[in-house]
Amino acid sequence: MLSAVTDSMADRTGRTLEEWVALVAGSGVDPLDQNAVRRWLREVHGVKQNSQWAIADAAATAAGWVRPSVEDYIDGQFTGKKAALRPVFDAVRTAALALGDDVTVEGRGTIVPFVRRRQFAVTATTTSRIDLGLRFRDPPASTRLTPATAPGQATHKLALHTVADVDDEVRTLLRTAYEQNG
């Protein structure tokens, strides 16, 4: 999607991506503060959201920022009080990746999506649990599932406190979400 946005940048905004990056560099806005860059683009230039993201990313990269790897994003979620929950996440990841060779793990600042053709599962970590979000077209019966609008694209979620919580029922729920999103 990002390449489609950048390819049509001049048509949509009147400037090429390179021209926007140069404008950001001369604006006085810290190019490494992507939130500030997006806000400036929106408020001063009326740039739409997808273009804001593409320009802010390109400006930060030009200023020396390196996008974290998936593992960097994941490691960043399990520091301090959340570090004890890393084995729970690892159990979920192992179960999700075992579903098929077409499963990918994506990195985000606060969630970890698991994607097939589209996101079928996602984890979000609090200080006391991991919320496992699952996307269902036809949700299975389970007393552990609650309706959800987050994290990610989840339609339902459940709380995981220990590795033992990642049991056969959770693996079955993951498989069902995987199969419904393939």
Question: What is the predicted pLDDT for the residue at 6?
Answer: 74
End-to-end alpha carbon distance in the chain: 20
Band of pLDDT at residue 3, cut at 50, 70 and 90 = low
Question: What is the predicted pLDDT for the residue at 141?
Answer: 95
145-155 per-residue burial string, b: 16 or more CB within 10 A, e: under 16:
beebeebbbbb
Q: pLDDT by residue (tens digit) across 76-97?
A: 999 999 999 999 999 999 999 9
Mean pLDDT on 59-80: 95
Which of residues 52 and 1 earns the better pLDDT score? 52
Q: Which of 127, 179, 181, 129 is nearest to 154 (CA)?
A: 181
Q: How many CB atoms lie within 10 A of CB 13?
A: 20
